[in-house]
Amino acid sequence: MSPADTKEIYGSLVFNEHVMKERLPSATYKSLKATVQKGQPLDLDVANVVASVMRDWAIEKGATHYTHWFQPLTGITSEKHDSFISPMKDGTAIMEFSGSALVRGEPDASSFPSGGLRAVAEARGYTTWDPTSYAFVKDNTLCIPTAFCSWTGEALDKKTPLLRSMKAVSDQACRILHLFGKDIPHIDVTVGPEQEYFLIKKEHYEKRQDLILTGRTLFGATPAKGQELEEHYFGALRPEVSSFMQDLDRELWKLGVAAKTRHNEAAPAQHELAPIFDRCNVAVDHNLLTMEMMKRIAPKHGLVCLLHEKPFAGVNGSGKHDNWSLSAPHMNLLDPGDTPMDNLQFLIFFAAVIKAVDEYQDLLRMCIAGAGNEHRLGGGEAPPAIVSVFVGDDLSAILDAIASDSEYVAPQSVKIDLGVDVLPKFAKDNTDRNRTSPFAFTGNKFEFRMPGSSANISDANTVLNTAVAKELKGYADELEQGGDFDKNVIALVKRTIRDHKRVIFNGNGYSKEWVEEAKRRGLDFQPAAAEALASMIAPKNVELFEKMGVLTETEIRSRCEVKLEHYSKLRHIEAVTMMEMTRRQLIPASVEYMTVLADGIRTKAAACPGISCRAEEKLLRQLTSFTDAMSDDADGLEGQVERAERCTNALERAQAYHSLVLPAMDALREAADSAESICGREHWPLPSYSEMLYYV
């Protein structure tokens, strides 16, 4: 595809500002823009005009239906399609789409997880248009990004609290900026999520019931080669992978998703896509579209996209690095500038983030916890389950100087000279990067590295926005009391650093020493997902969400219930899948091979009496032992699942799945993987790790 073609298709399926400005009447366009930028109420007359123009545009793009595209608490997107057709009495039909249909929809609210907010008999729910995220055409359907709530008004989705949190942080940031003499109506939270994923052959995927049902391999002997040669990272792309990536970029660009960077990741068969930053809710919508398109496009290239956090044991899992920042017109509020020591505006926003991370470590850990991420965090490949902030040596020195009232001496600019005249010299950055930090400052943004690859990042950004908004509110309340403003800002930043310095860590977050050091500092350490999820309803966290107008206590408790239930259900599916595969595939395969071995021993002994059959007998004994262990461990796993299912409390059930079922699953896997390692290759029913990761 030529650069001209790229420019032509970019955003071609999006009802974006360019289309609106071109097609909407001037007054309608200005009114809608005021709604988007300033939060002004949307007039129904304006909605009717927008709906009419949007319908005509969508029909030109091939759309026959429209849908309210929303994000229920399942973590994925949902859509119910309605046609534009409206029959007439004379047997003809017209294409109709009203402002009320644009603004509001009514899906069934009883069939989505609600954590007790909706009973089965209470079906009414509403979707309502989010005009700050552009509508788009997908599969000949006009997709309208919406929020989703119950008949009684509670949020049943992930977008509603995200939008509330964005408003909260904007309101409080504007108060701070006003004190600096800058009257700005709103600020934007900007996000750029880097998406990691695996691609494997479709033919291998179709032979793995575990991948089909759970997204990860529940069995798989360690291959002779993993990622120890470190050759895959940024390596040359396989032809089919390159073709997939080109196709993916093309489809995402049509939808206005600014896919920017693509490359091989560290693990074999692992890859990454990174977009350009966008407004927080739009970035979330685009990431959900990206995941959908990845899974849809891969089979066209004979591949399957795996978005699970840990599809393969023994190699790196997949995360989703959430690059988060705050921006106002013509300025990034987290840009330190050339003299960060003297940049009070930067320092106060920077301090607010540090304080928020320290005070709400448990919430940041909670918002990324889940069954998939539990296999990834702390595995020497991803940030640990301890939340800390990397700020780099330069900023650390600045913060130390502020906290101790000492003089700060800025480092001299250093040029990198590679000793080859033809290579240009370039300026060295003031600080290194730290890929082991869960929350790292990377120049003018924070990179939250803990979210998992399959996650809807609304949760992570809702927590981050809300916590920072609360700290900014506290700062604004204090600074608005008057006095010497600069002096008060410095005192506030100094106090924040002194009180919350414990959360700053620039070292190796993968090391065992850091775990002990973090405990000495009093930082939260919660490796189990169940306990991390339960922290959502801690009194201080309920108070935070309620105080900032992001979630009510009822909504918070329902979400906690949903998350715990989701964890248990995923573990249950994994355990039952393991038992079924063991009993119906793996044990029969082992028995078949043992029969071959036994027949071979008899045939060999009959043909040549007294001949040694030691190798065959040894193999037969080993495989018999592993097969017996598989049978016993499958029975043991079944018993532990039954124990977990008897728990009536959501937290207790999740804890039981973690403490009882997971160890039983590990034991069964160990026996099965041992059997795979000696079973004849033509007899083992599952594609091996070597086949799946090193396909040609």
For 428-473, the pLDDT digits (tens) are 555 556 678 899 999 899 999 999 999 999 999 999 999 999 999 9
Residue 212: CB partners within 8 Å, gap ≥ 6?
205, 206
Cβ contact 590:623 at 8 Å: yes
- Tell me whether residue 371 is exposed, middle or buried, using C-beta atoms within 10 angstroms of its C-beta: 0 to 12, 13 to 18, 19 or more: buried
**3-state DSSP of 114-167:** CCCCCCCCCCEEEEEECCCCCEEEECCEEEEEEEEEECCCCECECHHHHHHHHH
Q: What pLDDT does 418 receive? A: 56
Q: What pLDDT does 95 receive? A: 74
CA distance 36 to 552: 25
Q: What pLDDT does 123 receive? A: 59
Residues of the chain below pLDDT 50: 121, 426
Q: Dihedrals φ, ψ of 103, to 5°?
A: -75, -35
Q: What is the DSSP letter of 428?
A: P
Kindly report the pTM of this predicted structure.
0.93
Helix ranges restricted to H, 17-127 = 17-23, 26-38, 44-60, 99-103
Q: What pLDDT does 611 receive? A: 94
Of 309, 322, 272, the C-alpha closest to 448 is 322
Cβ contact 378:540 at 8 Å: no
Q: What pLDDT does 426 receive? A: 46
Amino acid identity, position 659: S
Residue appearing with tokens 């309502």: 128
